[in-house]
């Protein structure tokens, strides 16, 4: 993983902190490291009030250009395509496609790599032994110390890509290069640069016109566009969707109005379901893995009162649609995602750790019976 260098903000003393320039402060001469867009807490050493840092603009510093970091993470798949059972294709528009499960078998390793590309190389995804009390199989873990950039500016599948006989959910840092979602206004991230990297959840490879459209929207030459493609019902596709535990928690918190700049680090785990027979079943199983078997721990700055108030509303159990396999919920709403309560989409359990008080707050519950109903044939 590439190292993220500090932004220019890191070299400035903390505004509003008496230690940064006031007399007698315990923090005299110290600097605040590059971390969040906004510091909502008091200085932990001198007790001064909240300090607001200028949001770093991703792309102005080569070290935090998400698309370039993601492009580096693609390289092992390209160099070792046989090992990962993927195919690298130069599409007629000039775009580079990496088929991770459409016309290839793909692999668990490819799935972890695709998930890390989705995170722009700012997170680590692993397949580990699972909790047999939840599901007797492996689990997918994800961790990141750059949750806002990795999960919201990159991993979130916020781009619906549609064309003649083609549909895909688009994620990855190409979204930050395009920058049209309202989410980017909210989090203050946009990206410049001449490279775009994206992940398409689709059962089909995009044709030349789709690739050209994506390149145009991202403002890059098609030769500088890299797209990784995997169906939900594939080894790689299943892994990369289940690796979205932190992202779903953050997105839910964003919808609830929580300042995501307070989230410093995250760790998530969810059971890896059997690869489904078709994409519709795969959507059900991968969603259920997170909704009923996913657990996320987030390390958060700021006051404990706001954490305690937020916590009960974050897990999937806070939604009235909670409690049935996702496939049944989907059918009940006539296969229309937009009719489903959007607050359903979050992990089963969320643990919020206060970096100020050292207290930990746990909310939600696992539903292994629903997982078995979803995963078993």
Residue 239 pLDDT grade (very low, low, confident, very high; cuts 50, 70, 90): very high
Averaged pLDDT for residues 242-266: 97
Residue 277 has pLDDT above 70, yes or no: yes
Provide the whole-model pTM: 0.84
> Of the ranges 6-15, 24-33, 330-339, which is most confident?
330-339
Residue 87 pLDDT grade (very low, low, confident, very high; cuts 50, 70, 90): very high
Sign of the dihedral through C-alpha 157, 160, 161, 166: positive
Among 218, 167, 169, residue whose Cα is nearest residue 191? 218
Which pLDDT score is estimated for 4? 31
Q: Is residue 18 part of a domain?
A: no
Residue 48 has pLDDT above 90, yes or no: no
Residue 64 pLDDT grade (very low, low, confident, very high; cuts 50, 70, 90): confident
Among 238, 241, 255, residue whose Cα is nearest residue 313? 255
Which pLDDT score is estimated for 338? 82
Q: Is residue 75 part of a domain?
A: yes
At 78 the three-state DSSP class reads helix
Residue 27 has pLDDT above 50, yes or no: no
Q: Is residue 11 part of a domain?
A: no
Residue 31 pLDDT grade (very low, low, confident, very high; cuts 50, 70, 90): very low
Q: Is residue 116 part of a domain?
A: yes
Residue 2 has pLDDT above 70, yes or no: no
Residue 17 has pLDDT above 70, yes or no: no
Q: Of 64 and 213, which is predicted with more confidence?
A: 213
Specify whether the CB–CB gap between 255 and 343 falls below 8 A: yes
Q: Is residue 211 part of a domain?
A: yes
Q: What gap in Å lies between CA 175 and CA 159, rounded to an integer?
A: 7
> CB neighbours (10 Å) of residue 6?
16
Residue 26 has pLDDT above 50, yes or no: no
Q: What is the dihedral of CA 135, 85, 142, 64, to 10 degrees?
A: -170
Q: Tell me how far apart the 2 most distant CA atoms of the chain are, in Å.
A: 69
Averaged pLDDT for residues 239-261: 97
Q: Of 377 and 128, which is predicted with more confidence?
A: 128
Q: Is residue 262 part of a domain?
A: yes
Averaged pLDDT for residues 290-313: 98
Which pLDDT score is estimated for 46? 38
| pLDDT tens column, 155-177 | 999 999 999 999 999 999 999 99
Residue 63 pLDDT grade (very low, low, confident, very high; cuts 50, 70, 90): low
Mean pLDDT score of the chain: 87
Domain containing 104 — which CATH number? 3.30.1030.10
pLDDT above 70: percentage of residues in the chain: 83
Q: What gap in Å lies between CA 278 and CA 253, rounded to an integer?
A: 31
Residue 212 has pLDDT above 70, yes or no: yes
Domain containing residue 223: 62-375
Q: Is residue 52 part of a domain?
A: no
Averaged pLDDT for residues 327-351: 94
Q: What gap in Å lies between CA 26 and CA 353, rounded to an integer?
A: 26
Specify whether the CB–CB gap between 188 and 148 falls below 8 A: no
Q: Is residue 303 part of a domain?
A: yes
Which stretch of 139-143, 163-167, 237-241 has the lowest confidence by average pLDDT? Answer: 163-167
Q: Which residue stretches of the chain are H helix?
A: 66-79, 81-84, 108-118, 147, 174-178, 182-187, 208-218, 235-242, 245-255, 279-293, 304-310, 326-332, 368-375
Question: Per the structure, how many domains does the chain have?
Answer: 1
């Amino acid at each position: 993983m590439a190292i993220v260098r500090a932004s220019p903000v890191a070299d400035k003393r903390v505004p509003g902190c008496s230690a940064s320039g006031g007399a007698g402060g315990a923090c005299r001469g110290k600097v605040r490291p590059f971390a969040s867009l906004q510091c909502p807490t008091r200085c932990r050493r001198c007790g001064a009030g909240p300090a607001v840092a200028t949001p770093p603009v991703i792309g102005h510093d080569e070290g935090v250009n998400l698309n370039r970091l993601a492009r580096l993470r693609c390289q092992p798949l390209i160099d070792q395509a046989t090992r990962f059972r993927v195919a690298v294709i130069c599409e007629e528009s000039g775009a580079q496609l990496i088929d991770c499960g459409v016309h290839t078998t793909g692999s668990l390793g490819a799935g972890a790599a695709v998930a890390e590309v989705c995170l722009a190389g700012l997170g680590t995804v692993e397949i580990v032994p699972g909790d047999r009390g939840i599901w007797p199989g492996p689990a997918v873990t994800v961790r990141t110390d750059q949750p806002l950039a990795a999960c919201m500016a990159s991993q979130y599948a916020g781009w619906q890509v549609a064309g003649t006989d083609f549909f895909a959910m688009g994620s990855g840092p190409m979204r930050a290069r395009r920058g049209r979602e309202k989410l980017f206004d909210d989090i203050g991230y946009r990206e410049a640069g001449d490279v775009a990297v994206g992940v398409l959840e689709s059962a089909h490879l995009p044709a030349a016109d789709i690739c050209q459209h994506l390149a145009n929207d991202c403002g890059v030459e098609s030769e500088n566009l890299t797209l990784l493609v995997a169906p939900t019902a594939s080894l790689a596709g299943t892994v990369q969707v289940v690796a979205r535990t932190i992202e779903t928690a953050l997105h839910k918190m964003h919808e609830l109005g929580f300042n995501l700049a307070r989230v410093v680090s995250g760790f998530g785990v969810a059971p890896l379901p059997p690869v489904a027979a078709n994409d519709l079943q795969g959507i059900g199983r991968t969603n259920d893995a997170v909704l009923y078997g996913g657990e996320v721990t987030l390390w958060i700055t700021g006051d404990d009162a706001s954490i305690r108030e937020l916590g009960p509303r974050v897990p999937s159990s806070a939604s009235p649609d909670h409690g049935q396999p996702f496939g049944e919920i989907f059918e009940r709403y006539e296969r229309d995602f937009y009719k489903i309560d959007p607050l359903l989409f979050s992990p089963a359990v969320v643990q919020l750790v206060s970096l100020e008080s050292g207290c930990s707050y746990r909310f939600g519950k696992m539903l292994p019976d629903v997982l078995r109903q979803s995963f078993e044939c």
